[in-house]
Structure 1
C-alpha cells in the first residue's frame, strides 16, 4: 500500500514524496481513511508507530480543503492538538509544518516554561492550528487570549500520558470551551484504560476504535539485554558500556531529576559529551539539549520519563535503562525511541537486586524472554535473587535459581534469559517460534534496512 491509495490530497503527497516517505505504517493505513471520512477515532498506537502523520495528514487536508467560514472579529483556531509535554508539542509542530509545505496554515505552539509575549502576539495575528499543552492553554483561556469556539478538529495525543500527569481536570475545562456539534475528535493513546474510555464516552461521538499493534508490544527489531550489577557499581558499568563506542548516540533513562543531573555530570567528567533533560530545566535548556543530541554534538542524553516524551530521533541505536521504570508500561515507551523506521536498536537495562521486582513486572507485561548477561568485572558480589517463578529463572528445570557466583558459566557461553512466566504447553511466544523468542545481543544498532522511509 502507498500513500496515494489512502485518499490524501496532491499537496500532501508531494510534501511526503519530497521527504522520502513512501509506505504508510499500519496505524496510518487504518486511521487516515477513517479520519478523512470525518469519523471520531480512538487509536491505539505506541510511540514510534507513525501516529503524528496518522492524525496530522487528515487534519491538514481538512484545513486545506475546507475554507474557514467568514466571521466577524479576529481569526479563530480551527484545529487543536493537545500534548502532554513541551517536547512533544514542538515535535508535532515541526512534523505538521513539514507535511504542510505546500499549504498556508498559520499555527502556534502553546506551552509553559517560556514567556507569554510571543504566544500572545501569534494568537492576536490569528492562526488556524494550535498545538498546546493543557496547563498553558488554560492560562490563555483565563486571559481570553484564545477563542476555541471555532475548533473543527480536536486531537488528543498520548492521552494516557496526559491523564497520568494529572491533566484530566484541565482537559475537561478545555473541552467545555469547544463546540459540541460539527467537531471531529481523534484520540491517540498507547493504552485504553477505564479512565480513557470514560473520557471518550463523555466528549466523543460514536468513535471507532482501532489498534495498530497489540497492547504493550514492542518493535521486533529491538534487542533486549539485562546486565546484573551491584547498585553501587551502576555508574561505573554505564561508563564502561558507553566507552565501548563513545560515538554511538545513546538515550539513558534515570528515575529522578536530581539523579539525571548527577549522572550527566559524572559522564561529563569522564569525557563523554552529555546533556540532561528533565522538568526542572528551562524550555530553552531542554530545546538546546535536544537540538545538540539530534545534531550529534552530544552523544549521550540523560532523561526522565516525562521529559523524554516527544524525543523523536531517527536511527537512535541504543536506549539504556540506568534505572528501571516504576511502572512496567513505561518500559515500552522508553525503548520505543530506538528501532524506528526500519533500523535495528538495542534496549539495555542495568539491574541490581533492588530492581528485580521491577524487572519481573516488565517481563510479564511483555510476555517474552529477556537476555541476562554478566559483564566481566561487574558481576554482582551477591547473586541477584530473581525469584522462583520467572523472570531470572535460568533455563533450568523446576524454576531453579541461577547458579551462584562460583558456578556461573564461563564468559562466552550462552547467556541466561529472564523468563515471561509459565504458559500453556506448546503455546508459541508472540512474535516467535514455539521454542520462545529471545532478544539476542548481536544486532548492529542503528543500521538502516532496505525498507523505505516512513512518516512519523
Structure 2
C-alpha cells in the first residue's frame, strides 16, 4: 500500500485490514482474477477499491469499471471511491438507471478513470458507443451471486465481452451460489483464484435474532410501538411492493412523520433523500424491499425488521447483514404468527443463527415478559370471602332501603312540591263578605 493510501486508511480509523482486504490486495494489484467471499459488513468494498485504484494512471481514460446491482449501492460505492481516487488525481463517474443520460454522456467526455454503475445503463452506453472500453483494465462484479443470474447474467457477459480479452476480473459476494463455482466456463476460461474467508472472518458484531409473534393485522401498530424505544431505528423489509405501499399509506394517514420508504419505483432524488434522512436519524423506520438488502452500509444501524419473512436463506443473510457491521451490536426482529416463525426456523436450519423468542414490554425488547408475583392461596381465599360478605351487605342495605322508602311513601305526604295558589282566589272570602253586606 502506498504512503498516501496508508495514511488515509489510518485517518479513517482503521488500524489493520480485514481478512478479505488483506487476502485479495496483492492478487488484485498484480492483475490476477479473483473471487472474494466474505460475510456482509466485512469490508469487501475497500477490498476491491484500494488495490485497483492504486494502480490507476491519471489521464489515461477509463481503466476501472465496477458493476453494482442497484442505484443505491452504485451511489454508495461511488462516494467511497471518489475519496480514494483523489489521492491519485483520478475522477469517478456514476452511471445508473433513472439518472439523466445526456448529463452522463457529457461527463464521459471528460474521460473519468473509474466508472461505477448498474448493468443496464453501462451496457446501454457501451452499445451507443458513448462509453469506450479500449482502456479498461479491470472489471469488478460486486454482489456477484445476485448479478450473475437471469437476464442480468447475460448483460454482465455482454459488458465483459465488449472489453479486451485480457481484462482483469474480480467477483465479490457474501453468499456462494452454483454459478460462482463455474465462473471459468462463463467468462472465457480464465483462471480465477478463490478467497473464501467466511468461516474465519471476525468482523461481525453480536447480533440477536428474535422471533416476535405478531399477527399481520397488528404489524403496523407494532412498528409504531417500536419507535418509542430510545435511539431505535431499523430497516423494515417487505416481500411485495403492494404490501409496502399499503403500510406506508397507513402511517401517512395516521400522521407519523418518522417513517419513510425506499422503493424501485421512486425517482433518484426521492430515493437519495430517504437514505439521507435515515442515515442522519431524521427517520426511524425505512420501509423497503430487497432493493436495500445488498451492500447498503448504514453505520451503527441498531436493527433490521422482517415485516415479511424472506422466501430463501440467501435473502435472509443479506437482509440481516445490514446490522452488526464492523463489530457493532444489532438485533433482527422477525414478524410472524406461530406457523410463520416455525417455517423460518426450518428455512435457516443449516445456517448458524440462534433464533429465539423476543417480546415488546414497556417500551423495551426483552427475552421474556416478567411474571406477576404469586399471591398466597390463604390470602386469596380471605379476599374472596371478604368480597363476598361485602357484596351480601350491599344487597341487604339495598333491600332495606327499598322497604323503608315504600313505607314512607304510604304514611307521609310528599312536601317536596308546594301547591301553587291562584292569584284570582286569593281574596275570594273578603269579596263574598262585602257582597253580602251590600245586599242587606
| SS of residue matched to 2:227 | helix
Give the counterpart of 2:162 among 177, 186, 204.
Answer: 177
Q: State the Cα deviation string for residues 209-266 of structure 1 (Å, max 9, x = none).
A: 1112139999351111111122222222222222233x42211111122222222333
- The answer to whether residue 20 in structure 2 is matched with residue 35 in structure 1 is no
| SS of residue matched to 1:125 | coil
Contact 1:253 1:322 in 2 (8 A): yes
Kindly report which structure 2 residues correspond to 1:164-203, keeping only aligned pairs within 5 A, or say none: 164=149, 166-181=151-166, 183-203=167-187
State the partner residue of 1:306: 291
- Judged with a 3 Å threshold, the aligned counterparts in structure 2 of structure 1 residues 218 and 164 are, in CA distance, closer, same or farther, namely farther
Give the counterpart of 1:148 among 110, 116, 133.
Answer: 133
Give the counterpart of 1:348 among 333, 357, 360.
Answer: 333
- The answer to whether residue 232 in structure 2 is matched with residue 248 in structure 1 is yes
2-structure distance, mates of 1:365, 1:165: 26
Unmatched segments (≥5 aa) in structure 2: 372-440
| SS of residue matched to 1:205 | coil
2-structure distance, mates of 1:109, 1:39: 25
State the partner residue of 1:328: 313
| SS of residue matched to 2:56 | helix
User: Is the deviation greater in 144-153 or in 232-241?
Assistant: 232-241
TM-score (norm 2): 0.77
Kindly report which structure 2 residues correspond to 1:386-401, keeping only aligned pairs within 5 A, or say none: none
- The answer to whether residue 72 in structure 2 is matched with residue 87 in structure 1 is yes
2-structure distance, mates of 1:328, 1:126: 42
Kindly report which structure 2 residues correspond to 1:231-242, keeping only aligned pairs within 5 A, or say none: 231-242=216-227
1-structure distance, mates of 2:64, 2:161: 15
Please state how far the C-alpha of 1:270 moved relative to its aligned partner: 5.2
TM-score (norm 1): 0.74
State the partner residue of 2:351: 366
Give the counterpart of 1:267 among 251, 263, 267.
Answer: 251
2-structure distance, mates of 1:215, 1:224: 21
- The answer to whether residue 186 in structure 2 is matched with residue 228 in structure 1 is no
2-structure distance, mates of 1:18, 1:218: 19
1-structure distance, mates of 2:17, 2:104: 34
2-structure distance, mates of 1:297, 1:369: 32
State the partner residue of 1:442: none
2-structure distance, mates of 1:139, 1:366: 39
Please state how far the C-alpha of 1:287 moved relative to its aligned partner: 0.9
- The answer to whether residue 38 in structure 2 is matched with residue 45 in structure 1 is yes
- Judged with a 3 Å threshold, the aligned counterparts in structure 2 of structure 1 residues 215 and 118 are, in CA distance, closer, same or farther, namely farther
Give the counterpart of 2:271 among 268, 274, 286.
Answer: 286
Quick one: higher RCO (CA 8 Å, sep 6+), 1 or 2?
1
Q: Which has the larger radius of gyration?
A: 2
User: Is the deviation greater in 159-168 or in 101-110?
Assistant: 159-168
2-structure distance, mates of 1:154, 1:136: 15
Contact 2:235 2:305 in 1 (8 A): yes
Q: State the Cα deviation string for residues 149-185 of structure 1 (Å, max 9, x = none).
A: 221111010011113463011011111101112x221
Please state how far the C-alpha of 1:199 moved relative to its aligned partner: 3.3
- Judged with a 3 Å threshold, the aligned counterparts in structure 2 of structure 1 residues 279 and 307 are, in CA distance, closer, same or farther, namely farther
- Deviating 4+ runs (over 6 angstroms): 215-218
- The answer to whether residue 191 in structure 2 is matched with residue 206 in structure 1 is yes
Unmatched segments (≥5 aa) in structure 1: 1-7, 69-74, 378-408, 414-456
2-structure distance, mates of 1:163, 1:102: 32
State the partner residue of 1:11: 4
| SS of residue matched to 2:348 | helix
